[in-house]
Structure 1
Amino acid sequence: MTAHIGTVARKDFSDAGRSKLLWVLVGLLVVIVAVGYVAIWSTIDDVSGAEVLGFLGFPLQVVLPVAALIVGYMAVVGERRSGSIKLLLGLPPNRTDVVFGKLLGRTAVVVVAVALAFVLSLVLFGSVPFVDWLAFGALTILFGVTFVGIAVGVSASVSSRGRSMALVVGVYMVLVALWELLTAGSYYLLYDEGPPLEPETWYLLLDQFNPIFAYTNLASSVVEGDIFPFQFQYGLESIEAYQLTPAERYAGSGDAPFFLQEWFGLVVLVVWLVVPVAIGYYRFQRAEL
């Protein structure tokens, strides 16, 4: 790591502001909060500020990953595509500075957007428990940054915009549209039945390695009410199964193992952040530019 990472990050954040990317993302999240506020308070009686936070969990988990992937998927490959990467690397910044500087710059875009949206929610909702609000906001920022890491890692790994877009769309589709087919489908192939409410422990571990599940489990633990994950369902899992945490579905004796506890979702999010960036860094260091 060198001091030039900050230089690249500041330039990248500034470029995002000039390209209106930051403001589009801020506007999108602000609209979600504002529309959610109007819809909730106009249709539900006697709703508390804490419950309102829970209602925001669903639209945030739908929109934020898409927005973060859009923010990050051109971070590095865009420089390669335009040819400016050679000019950038001809200056003091090296390839390490580029990858991690871009990661920090795009992370800052998402952090600012989410932070402003949550400040607005505090202003609108008023009597929100501050600790719950702060914890939910921090988890949401980590969730968004996780998808920035995925996108920047992909962007550093490939040499064209088309490949980067195809990969980030593919990752998103796996997590949202294909996850049940891959996990519950594998269980069905092994045991000739779909996962019961208390399936094998390995399945519970595999299933919760979806970062969207990790976020909803964590968020549900800090706000009032359950936040259910946004996922295509094919009938291999029961509806009741989606209403239980991995620890509640554990069939073994004694307490559930540590990797089924709610806090393990933090590990899942960090893994999804770090591994794609590490792969992208490795490939970018060896790429012919």
Structure 2
Amino acid sequence: MRWLPLAREECKALLSTKGVWLLALALPLWTYRPDYTAWAELGPDMTIGFVQYSAAFLLPIAAIALGYQTIVGERTSGSLQFVLGLPLTRGDVLLGKLVGLTVGIAIPMLLALGLVTLVGVVRFGLFSPLRYLAVILVTLAYLAVLVSIVVSVSALAGRAATAAVTLFVGLFLLLEFLWQMLSPMLYSRLTGTPVDPYDPPAEGGLFLLDRLSPGGAYNTVTNGILDTGNSAWHYSSVLSEIQPNVSSNALVVDTAFDPGTVPLYLHEAGGLVILAAWGLVPLGIAYLRFDRGDLV
């Protein structure tokens, strides 16, 4: 594992910066959001929902802010030539950066989530440890996927500013922040089928499109673990949608499809396949381009 020393140095460098710890400090403040509906439906497992809520918003910001310069910045400064002068392939560099950044972000994140977990146990009681562990593992996988996208864009971009704008607009705004609102309009344009988000048609393609973003796939899997409902929206929106006489624009499979009519590809576990694709495809493209490209 020739990439391991590079990953270790990348992790140490990240942990020595203030930015990663400031984001870790913000995580408990953003995460702790008690909700009466969530308490009624989940009980003590509401604490696990806090993990999902914070990860879906803060992890993309952390990955972009802390990783967008990881390769393009070193290419611009010339230090990448020194790194590649070591007995490392360019694939080793990509993998080392990916692992180092992921671990460097994960350590403060887990410490912050540990604080939120402790408060949740004190306030709301002991939750399901198996569900908690499963959500934490999926959250770490989601973080690795986000870092993979960031490292890939950094390897492909010619300038740091290009990488930053591409990631902020493409990954954060479009895919993570706005995707659930845009997907019904996009589906309507593609198929010609009118879509009212407050009364969506039971069409598998619509619900599949809704969960094709990394965050949507993550929410789908973690909602399945929490047993809140089959949806790409965060757990509190899903719980609100399934309440009697309540209508929202959250697309929830359970309220749109009759029992026994849900397509197999809408199973919550399918979100893992989508996450894997987001983690591997950009990295594969970056590897091919980075391996053949110039360093300047």
Normalization by structure 1: what TM-score? 0.82
Residues 187 and 193 of structure 2 are in contact (CA less than 8 Å); yes or no, is this contact kept in structure 1? Answer: no
Any stretches of 5+ residues in structure 2 without a counterpart?
235-245
What's the counterpart of residue 239 of structure 2? none
- Residues 184 and 194 of structure 1 are in contact (CA less than 8 Å); yes or no, is this contact kept in structure 2? yes
Structure 1 residues 280 and 158: CA distance shift in structure 2, 3 A: same
The DSSP-based 3-state class of the residue aligned with 1:4 is coil
Amino acid at match of 1:123: L
Give the aligned partner of residue 204 of structure 2: 201
The answer to whether the aligner puts 1:244 opposite 2:252 as a matched pair is: yes
Match of 2:91 among 96, 99, 108: 96
Indicate which of 279, 283, 287 corresponds to 1:281. Answer: 287
Is residue 85 of structure 1 aligned with residue 80 of structure 2?
Answer: yes
Deviations 1:148-190 (A, max 9, x none): 1111110111121011011101222221225543553342463
- Which amino acid in 2 is paired with 1:187? S
* Aligned residue number for residue 161 of structure 1: 160
Is 1:136 the counterpart of 2:135? The answer is yes
Conservation of the 8 A alpha-carbon contact between 1:213 and 1:229: yes
Q: Is the contact made by 1:61 and 1:212 (CA closer than 8 Å) also made in structure 2? A: yes
Residue 28, structure 1, aligned to residue 59, structure 2: no
Please tell me the residue identity of whatever aligns with 1:40: P
Alignment of 1:10-89 (within 5 A): 10-33=8-31, 36=32, 40=34, 48-89=43-84
CA distance in 1, matches of 2:270, 2:251: 18
Return the alpha-carbon distance in structure 1 between the equivalents of residues 193 and 264 of structure 2: 28
Aligned residues: 273
Q: Compute the RMSD of aligned alpha carbons.
A: 3.0
Deviation, structure 1 residue 104: 0.6
- Relative to structure 1, the CA distance from residue 81 to residue 284 in structure 2 (aligned partners, 3 Å threshold; closer, same or farther) is same
TM-score by length of 2: 0.80
Aligned-residue identity in percent: 26
Change (3 A) 1:239 1:270: farther
- Which ranges in structure 1 are unaligned for 5 or more consecutive residues? 231-237
Amino acid at match of 1:59: S
Please identify, of 71-80 and 97-106, the stretch whose mean Cα deviation from structure 2 is larger: 71-80
Render the CA deviation track for 1:206-253: whole Å, top value 9, x for unaligned: 2221222222222222236468737xxxxxxx95451513x66457x9
> Shift in Å at residue 269 of structure 1?
1.1
Aligned to 1:229: 233
